[in-house]
Amino acid sequence: MKTSLRLHLAALLLATFTCLPASAQEGRSSHIDSEGNELIHHRVNDQGQAYSGYAPTVGSTSALSRSSQLTYHGGSVFSTPSVYLIWYGNWAQSNGTDTAAGQQIIRDFFSAIGGSPYFLINSHYVGSSNSITGSVTWTGKEASPGYSHGTVLSDANIATLVSDAISAGTLPKDTNGLYFVLTSSDVNESSGFCTQYCGWHTHGTISSSNLRYAFIGNAARCIASCAAQSTGPNGNAGVDGMVSVLAHELEEATTDADLNAWYARNGYENGDDCAWTFGTTYKAANGAFANMKLGTRDFLIQRNVDFRSTGGQYCDLSHK
Ligand SMILES: [Zn+2]
C-alpha cells in the first residue's frame, strides 16, 4: 500500500514536472517561440574557420567537466528516428549551393548515418526507458513547398511548414518522426539564424500530436558563422556545413526528443558539448578537411559526447 502510494506520488510529481510549460535551462542557448516551445540552438561558429590549410579545431581530449556531463531526466528518446525533409525556398538555383546535387549530399548523409560508428555513440546512453539503437530510418519522404511563407520565416512558420506538409498528405504524421525544415540560402529565419544559431530543434503540438522538428538553414548564407571551412569535402561549402549541424540536431533530438531526457546541469545537450570541434581530420580529394566517411562520401562532422567504456564522458567521433 505504502509502496503503491509512493509510486503514485512519484508518477504525479513526474507528470507535474513534465507538463510544465517550456522554460529555458540556465546556460543553455535557446529561446522560447510564440507558442511557448523552447527552441534549442546550435550556436554559431565560436572556433573560427579552417583558413589557409589549417585544420578545423580538434577540441579538448579531456573528460567533460561535471557541469557539462549529461544526465538522464526521465523523458523520451527516439529508439530509431524516422527522418523527413522539407526543402524550403528554391533548391534548383545556379548558385552552386542550393542545388539538386546539394540535396543529394544531405540524402546520402541520412541514408548512411544510421549504424555508423559515429551515430552508434548514442546507443551507449544508459538509463532511458526505451533504448537507442543507433539506427536512423531515412524515409525518403520529402516536401518542397517553395516560398509558401515568403523569404523571412518566423519560428511559428517552421511549425506551420510541418503541419502544411502533413495536411497536404505530402508527409505522414509520425510521432516517431523527426521533421527537418531545410532552407535555401536566400531565406532567413528571423529569430536569429546566422547570428544566434545555425539550427535548432524542438517539439510541439502539430496536427494534435506531439511532433519533433528542427530548422537548419543553408550555411552558405553566413559561411563564417555556420560552417567550419569555406570549401566543403563534397564541394558545396554551404551544404557540407549544414551536414554537421544536421548531425548535431539529429543526435540531440534522438537523445532529448522532448527536451526532458538527456542534458547537462549547464543545460547543454550532447551536441552542444562538442559543437565546432572535429577531432582528427584528413584531407578529402578536393583538399577540404573531413573526419569521416559515410557511404561513399567524406564529411566533416562535429564530435559527440561518448560514454566511454573506461568511464567518463568525452567528445568523440566513435565509441571508445
Ligand atoms: Zn544543440
Around ion ligand 1, residues with a beta carbon closer than 5 Å are 42, 252, 271-272
- Is 32 inside any structural domain? no
As a whole number of angstroms, the distance between CA 178 and CA 137 comes to 10
CA of 40 to the centre of ligand 1 (A): 6
Please count the other Cβ atoms lying within 10 Å of the Cβ belonging to residue 89: 22
Place 36 in a pLDDT band, splitting at 50, 70 and 90. Answer: confident
Q: Provide the whole-model pTM.
A: 0.90
As a whole number of angstroms, the distance between CA 203 and CA 256 comes to 10
How much is the average pLDDT of 133-146? 98
- Is 31 inside any structural domain? no
C-alpha cell at 141: 519522404
* pLDDT higher than 60, residue 8: no
- Is 179 inside any structural domain? yes
Place 35 in a pLDDT band, splitting at 50, 70 and 90. Answer: confident
Number of domains the chain is built from: 1
Rg (CA), the chain: 19
Cβ 187 vs Cβ 86: under 8 Å:
no
CA of 199 to the centre of ligand 1 (A): 8
- Is 223 inside any structural domain? yes
By CB atoms closer than 10 A (0-12, 13-18, 19+), residue 26 is: exposed
CA of 273 to the centre of ligand 1 (A): 8
How many angstroms from the chain centroid is the CA of residue 10?
Answer: 32
Residue at grid coordinates 509512493: 6
* pLDDT higher than 60, residue 24: no
Please count the other Cβ atoms lying within 10 Å of the Cβ belonging to residue 148: 14
Place 25 in a pLDDT band, splitting at 50, 70 and 90. Answer: low
Q: What is the pLDDT of residues 55-86, one digit of tens each?
A: 999 999 999 999 999 999 999 999 999 999 99
CA of 39 to the centre of ligand 1 (A): 10
Element spanning 272, H or E: helix 270-274
CA of 208 to the centre of ligand 1 (A): 26
As a whole number of angstroms, the distance between CA 75 and CA 262 comes to 8
- Is 268 inside any structural domain? yes
- Is 28 inside any structural domain? no
- Is 1 inside any structural domain? no
* pLDDT higher than 80, residue 227: yes
Domain hosting 44: range is 38-316
CA of 50 to the centre of ligand 1 (A): 21
pLDDT confidence of residue 132: 96
- Is 68 inside any structural domain? yes
